[in-house]
Amino acid sequence: MTAALKAWRDMPTILAVAIALVAVQVVVAVAAPLLAPWDPLYQDVVARLSGPSWAHPLGTDRFGRDVLSRILYGYRSSFLIAFAAVAGSLLIGGTLGLLAAYYRGWTDRIVSRLMDVLFAFPIILLAIGIIGVLGPGTFSTMLAIGIVYTPIFARTVRGPALVLREAEFVTAIRSVGAVDARIIVHHIVPNLVGVILVQTSLLMSAAILVEASLSFLGLGTQPPTPSLGLMLVEGRNFLALAPWDSIFSGLAILFAAFGFNFLGDCLRDQLDPRLRD
Amino acid sequence: MRKTLTLAAVTAAASTAAAAQTIDVGTTASPVGLDPHVATAFSTKLITDAVYEGLTAIDTDLRVIPSLATDWSVSEDGRTYTFTLRDGVTFHDGTAFAADDVVASIERVLDPDTGSPQASRLELIETVEAVDDATVQIVLESPSAPLLGHLANIAIMSKDFLDAGGDPQQTPAGTGPFRLERWVPDTALELVAHAEYWEDGLPRAEALTYHIVPETATLQLGLRSGAYDLLPTADIASVVSLEGQPGIETLSTQELSYGLIGFNAAEPPFDDARVREAFNYALDRQQLVDVVLFGRGQPGAPLSPALVDWAMPGDSFACLTRDVDAAQALLAEAGYADGVEVTINVLGILPQIVDLAQVVQAQVAEAGFDVTLNVQERGEFIQDWRNSNFTAFASLNGGSIDPDGTFYRTFRSGGSTNVFQYADDAVDRLLDEARIGTDPVARKAAYDELQGLLACTGPIAFLTFADLHALTRDGVEGFALHPTRDMRALRTTAVPAD
Amino acid sequence: MPAGLRLITQRLIDLLFILFGVSILTFLMIRLIPGDAVQIMLGANAEITPERVEALRAQVGLDRPLVEQYFVWIGDLLTGQFGTSLWTGRPVIEEIGAAAVVTLELSLLALALAIVVAVPLGCLAAYARASWLDVVVRVVTVAGITIPSFWLGIVLLLIVFAVAPGMQTFGYVPFVEDPLGNLQIMALPVLSVALPIVANLVRMVRTAMLDSLGQDYVRTARAKGVGESRVVLVHALRAALVPVVTSIGILTGYLLAGSIVVEKVFTLPGLGRLVVGAIEERNYPLLQTSILLVTATFVLINFLVDILYTVIDPRIRR
């Protein structure tokens, strides 16, 4: 407890701000159903395409659906997609990277080549291809982003793990006869937490943007599910009449991606001794 | 007198100068091949309409008029059609148009190796032969009232071109007012006026360029800034956004195509006619028109009100007016008192359909239909549609000027687009009768009865007939929208000097 | 340098393996996309019998077994035959070439703009480390990275339309036909693509500068009494440019991702639209070859950067 308190006190202000920012966003995303004043699918047809008012603080879309509620739910689904994709790719990519680094030899060669092939594709191109196969939709988007990020995590983990494997304290433990699994879990992984945190945070931000791009191309979340990227697309044809959903959902995407990127950026500075003040 | 003459000369010169212009058309989709016998997607038809012509044409009042045939006669028994062909028509490749070309084109459509979807419209043709260079005779197995209308859509190609192994998918060779000059994929198709076009003074424009612009918002800005002269199929968002803006004109007409929910009549729950009827009762068609179409259109019914000679008004059928209680009662009767879950496949490339589906979803929920929308990419949708792999789907169907054109293939058991697996003996009998009947009164009676049978318990819930809109820059003249989306009017279109 | 040569040979073998894997994955991915070219051609309400559909499939070569189709494709590629586009009938390579020119121009202009803007900003941020200026630059750059480029594109279009409605903003013209018009049309797309790159580069330059400012040779230069601005400009900046050059590989990915969506907004006939359009139309020959070529280029760039990295990084050279 005191250690945690001390860590918080010693933290640079900017990192604290970043953490707080992301925390607030996560709370908003999780609590979206409690915060949203309307059902995001409810069509208040009479009040459609109207500007901000007391009833609809951010206006309504072309079916009279409440923009604020849709943005809150869209926030939630953006976060959910990004989180599931990043968590999945971390789990699979990270594990593969660790095993490759620890066992070297054929394991490493096979894993690395497979990851190289996936990594060879430009991210957006591979994601478009995967969604082409699976058909557009929320789950496809999650899976596509997850697959695209898997080699990134494998690479992120493999490099430092290779170094750690040869580190003195690891060879020492191994000579005492510790089991591989124990060495990996208790001695290597804890030393990778920093790198992983930075990468996770940056990829969360990138995943939110990729999801929005895919929805923009018509490949991501499908109507009527609220999604930030989709709202932006649907609203832009009505920009002249009622720009509310386009403008606010664009800002929401920016805000959501900003938090995680900022956090990752600050964490990277914090963990890289060269950059620390 | 002299002065007047000079003035007239000046005006004529000015109008010639004005005509020496390019019509810049903005459209969202690239054509998928240019062979009108094979590629039936609208993105292709938009272009081939300017390049090809049929024996007949259809005017904006939906009457059959002469085109490459100047005249025709029908034998007493209604089975032999004799066409007199237009003189002095030249193909884009320089060859002269003659009876052989008509025979070659019709035979190409009928040839199974061509794989033409238009073949089913001509399947009653027994023989087609050139009597002489300017006369073609078509003999039918049985009389067919809709034949003349169908022929308007059968593009006439050059026999020499086909014999030489030319591929119409890439190099169109028609007789139409414009000739394809250059195709820059994903960017533009550039056409120039056909110098030897048969009608003097046409086409009025010197060139025609289709700009492929996938973004509606960009199209809107392009029209306002003058980059495009004409958006021939403007979406409703563009229309309500741009209407009334200085420098923009809106054209509209009633369209034959209709938004629909199609049911799988061979699978629960929609195999039960009561569930289909309940769905109809649960819909508020006027609200669909008001919300999705911004009031520009008509509530759905079996036939478009544009077909004044055939269509029965929507209020002739009780189930086309919303009645949630009736819907719930029917559902309960069918064994779904606690509601029923259904998934609707939605054709994702059409914003109007995606919008309709979302409002339908909200409407029918009140009657107990718990709808999940499965918005699909085009290829996936078409595959499921063709394989009858759906519970229900939302899509847009094209209409035809004779009820037979859509009714037969859609509702006849075994019909080529009866993907619903719908089979009803009474419907089949009436469709067969009306198809070969030549007495207009008897046909009208048969189609009235059919509309009654199909409105409430047919395999389709007719949602809306959207008005068709075009947006033009001020000063674009001579263009007219056509209820069948025919683009023939491009030949009379002129654009102002820039 | 036999060691270096061995490294390059090893990497070349890897490269071939990767390209082989990429070709299989590309081919499979494309064939697994539901709904084929023939269905798209017929549209969503075509009246046609299954026999006729089969006839059409045979016409476009879709009736042969998958494995055969793959080997025919690869065999043709290896002998320099890239095939013809399904719809236009033009050689695939011509269509890809035309689109590549657009994307390349967009990318290079965006990259150039990004470098010009980002390098001074990054130096400034590094030099003013931990001051309010550093914080401002950081917040702005992070925001820049996270702006959705398509949103930015639409907003820019609207702004330009409001301010200068006469400015030509769409309808692509090749540079060789009308250089001025081309640049005018490219201005907004370049800006939309460049912004996230600027932001990324600023971060990289800043990090690299901080790194090199702490290096011995910079300290030595300072101790020798070299002027502060000269230390920054000559010694530190030169070292800092190394990671910038070597991150071109990563930036290529960003550039391509940005181009794909921005091309859609501004209707530029580039690779992004080519690929997305080819998927929509199931134009298999065009699609598989363009994905393969784009990916191969991407891989090659990364390969060259890797080699370059070992050659120019002073620390590795030592």
Q: What is the pLDDT of residues C110-131, one digit of tens each?
A: 888 888 888 888 888 877 776 7
Q: Report the DSSP beta bridge partners of residue B71.
A: B84
From C44, C166, C267, residue closest to B214, measured CB to CB: C267
Question: Domain for residue A21, yes or no?
Answer: no
Give the highest mean pLDDT range of B266-270, B351-355, C12-16, C178-182: B266-270
Residue B126 to residue B141: CA distance in whole angstroms: 6
Q: Which of B161-165, B208-212, B456-460, C273-277 has the lowest mean pLDDT?
A: C273-277
Supply the DSSP symbol for B97. P
Using only C-alpha atoms, chain B has a radius of gyration, in whole angstroms, of 24
Helix B425-436 vs helix B440-457: angle between axes, to the nearest 10 degrees? 150
> Residue A45 and residue B235: Cβ atoms within 8 Å?
no
Mean pLDDT computed over B448-455: 91
| CB-count burial class (<10 Å; 0-12, 13-18, 19+) for B35 | buried
Query: Which chain C residues touch B416 with a CB distance below 8 Å?
Result: 47-49
What is the predicted ipTM?
0.75
In a domain, A17, yes or no: no
- The total domain count for chain A is 1
Buried b (16+ CB within 10 A) or exposed e, B333-364: ebebeeebebebbbbbbbbbbbbbbbbbbbbb
Of the listed ranges B126-140, B182-196, B298-312, C271-285, the one predicted with least confidence: C271-285
Name the residue facing C148 among A124, A125, A250 (closest C-beta).
Answer: A250
CA A104 to chain centre: 30
Which pLDDT band, with edges at 50, 70 and 90, does A171 fall under?
confident
Q: Is residue C54 part of a domain?
A: no
User: Are residues B56 and B152 in contact, defined by beta-carbon separation less than 8 angstroms?
Assistant: yes
> Considering the domain boundaries, does residue A100 fall inside one?
yes
pTM: 0.80
Q: Dihedral through CA A23, CA A29, CA A30, CA A31, nearest 10? A: 100
pLDDT of residue C236: 67
Q: Which helix (H) or strand (E) holds B409?
A: helix B403-411
Q: What's residue C188's pLDDT? A: 87
What pLDDT band is residue B25 in, cutting at 50, 70 and 90?
very high
Determine whether the interchain pair A222/B375 forms a contact, defined as Cβ–Cβ distance below 8 Å.
yes
Range of the domain at A267: 61-275
- In this predicted model, what pLDDT tens digit does every residue of C29-43 receive, in sequence order? 877 777 666 776 666
* C80 within some domain: no
Six-digit token string for B352: 């109007």
Contact B362 A62 (CB under 8 A): no
Rounded CA separation B313/A113 (Å):
67
CB pairs A-B closer than 8 Å? 60
Residues 6+ apart with CB under 8 A from B136: B55, B69, B82, B83, B85, B99, B102, B103, B128, B129, B130
pLDDT at A274 over 60: no
pLDDT bucket at C317, cuts 50 / 70 / 90: very low
* Start-end of H helices in B293-392: 324-333, 351-365, 378-386
Is position C4 within any domain?
Answer: no
pLDDT value at residue B3: 40
Interface test with B, best of C29, C41, C173 (most B CBs within 10 A): C41
Residue C1 lies in a domain: no
Is C33 in Cβ contact with A277 (below 8 Å)? no
- Residue to mutate among B22, B30, B32, B484, with most C CBs inside 10 A, is B32
CB contact (8 A) between residue A128 and residue C279: yes
B307 vs B60, B310, B318, C219, CA distance in Å? 11, 6, 21, 88
Q: Cα dist. B483→A4, B161, B307 in Å?
A: 73, 32, 10
Say which CATH number the domain at C210 has: 1.10.3720.10
Q: Collapse the DSSP code of B306 into the 3-class scheme (helix H, G, I; strand E, B; otherwise coil) and give the result.
A: coil
pLDDT of residue B213: 84
The reply to whether C72 falls in a domain is: no
Structural domains in chain C (count): 1
3-state secondary structure of B360: helix
Q: Considering Cα of A17, then A22, then A23, then A29, what sign does the dihedral take?
A: positive
Chain centroid to CA B231: 17
Partners of chain A (3+ Cβ pairs below 8 A): B, C
CA distance B476 to B496: 6
Residue C72 has pLDDT above 90, yes or no: no
Distance of CA C212 to the CA centre of its chain: 29
- CB-nearest to B115 from C43, C53, C95 is C53
Residue B55 predicted with pLDDT over 90: yes
With cut-offs at 50, 70 and 90, classify the pLDDT of residue B11.
very low
Using CB atoms, list chains with 3+ pairs below 8 Å to chain C. A, B
The alpha-carbon gap from B17 to the nearest alpha carbon of chain A, in Å, equals 35
C190: left (phi over 0), alpha (psi -120 to 50) or beta: alpha
Q: What is the mean pLDDT of chain A?
A: 84
CA dihedral C27, C31, C33, C37 (to 10 degrees): 120
Instruction: Write out pLDDT tens, residues A53-64.
Output: 888 888 888 888
Distance in Å, alpha carbon of B241 to nearest chain A alpha carbon: 6
When scoring C45, C188, C271 by the number of chain B Cβ atoms within 10 A, the one with the most, hence best to mutate, is C45
CB < 8 Å to B409, chain C = 47
Comparing C-alpha atoms, which of B364, B378, B159, B216 is closest to residue A219?
A: B378
Contacts of B171 in chain C (CB under 8 A): 89
Would you place residue B261 in the very low, low, confident or very high pLDDT band (cuts 50, 70, 90)? very high
Count how many residues are written for chain C: 318
Of C21, C138, C279, the CB nearest to A265: C138
Has residue C310 got a pLDDT over 70?
Answer: no
Does residue C86 have a pLDDT over 80? no
Contact B378 C85 (CB under 8 A): no
Q: Which domain holds residue C136?
A: 92-317
What does pLDDT average to over chain B? Answer: 87
**Mean pLDDT along residues C144-151:** 82
B358 touches chain A (CB under 8 A): yes
Which 3 state secondary structure label does DSSP give B312?
coil
Residues of chain A neighbouring B238 (CB-CB closer than 8 A): 237
Confidence (pLDDT) at C302: 78
Give the pLDDT of residue A102: 86
Mutate to test the interface with B, among C31, C33, C36, C48 (most CBs of B within 10 A): C48
User: What would the mean pLDDT of B29-36 be, rounded to a whole number?
Assistant: 84
Looking at residue A160, which CATH number applies to its domain?
A: 1.10.3720.10
Alpha helix segments (H runs only) across B20-121:
42-51, 99-110
Would you say residue C286 lies in a domain? yes
**pLDDT range class, residue A2, cuts 50, 70, 90:** low
Residue A222 covered by a domain:
yes
Q: How much is the pLDDT for A272? A: 67
> In this predicted model, what pLDDT tens digit does every residue of C188-220 receive, in sequence order?
889 888 888 888 888 778 877 777 777 666 677
Band the pLDDT of B80: cuts 50, 70, 90: very high
Instruction: Looking at the complex, report in whole angstroms how far the Cα of residue A224 sits from the nearest Cα belonging to chain B.
Output: 6
- The alpha carbon of B75 is separated from its chain's Cα centroid by a whole number of angstroms, namely 30
Find chain A residues with C-beta within 8 A of C203's C-beta: 265
Q: Which of A198-202, B149-153, B418-422, C159-163 has the lowest mean pLDDT?
A: C159-163
pLDDT, one tens digit per residue, over A72-101 is: 998 898 899 999 999 999 999 999 998 988
Interface test with A, best of C145, C207, C303 (most A CBs within 10 A): C145
Contact B291 A241 (CB under 8 A): no
pLDDT at B124 exceeding the cut of 90: no
What per-residue string of b and e applies to C50-61 under the rule 16 or more CB within 10 Å gives b? eebbebbbebbe
Q: Inspect the interface and report whether the beta carbons of C47 and B381 lie closer than 8 Å.
A: no
